[in-house]
Amino acid sequence: MTLIPVNQYGDKILRKKAVPVQKIDPEFVKFVKDMFETMHNAYGVGLAANQVGSNKSVFVVDISVMKEFPDEKPRVFINPKIIDRSDKTCSYEEGCLSIPDVRADVIRPEKVTIAFKDLDFNDQVMEVDGFLCRVIQHEYDHLNGIYFTDRIDEFEQKKLKKELIRIKNRKIEVEYPVTPRERD
């Protein structure tokens, strides 16, 4: 398997809406495996395709790496669509491999129902809550060009501005491969 460099805050692909996956072939399966490898190497629990340079509508999640969720299995979400959200919300601190060392409390629906295709390209529907729900919504946002920092209030965004510029300019140190800075 191959580690894929992670796109960082400010990279154009992170603001683009993903395009649907049309078919599963060996190249796509390898890409998904490489996504898992890249995510695990960076100690992440979720990774969207655009974070590793692809415009495909797919993300991977594995919260089993956390001691609280040893029974959860790694999951692949192809062409996901959140079809229902609870009115009840909750706040939780989030971080992101594309925005290293930045954390902020984000308010999101407590439960969602998500429709997607699995790696066999079979239709699936899941109702999720708790931490898994949080990770799914975070990665789903990536496929729609949304950062978690877009979901915090303006005051908090202003407090993060200098750090986000440092990330965009690659003035950061991380223990996983990242893409070189895009030139404007």
Spell out the residues 6+ positions from residue 148 whose beta carbon is closer than 8 angstroms to its own: 94, 95, 96, 99, 104, 106, 138, 141
Choosing from 139, 163, 175, 182, the catalytic residue is 139
C-alpha–C-alpha distance, residues 55 and 21, integer Å: 9
Within 10 angstroms of residue 174's Cβ, the number of other Cβ atoms is: 14
C-alpha–C-alpha distance, residues 38 and 58, integer Å: 14
Is residue 139 flagged as an active site residue?
yes
C-alpha–C-alpha distance, residues 141 and 63, integer Å: 18
C-alpha–C-alpha distance, residues 3 and 116, integer Å: 25
Residues designated as active site: 139
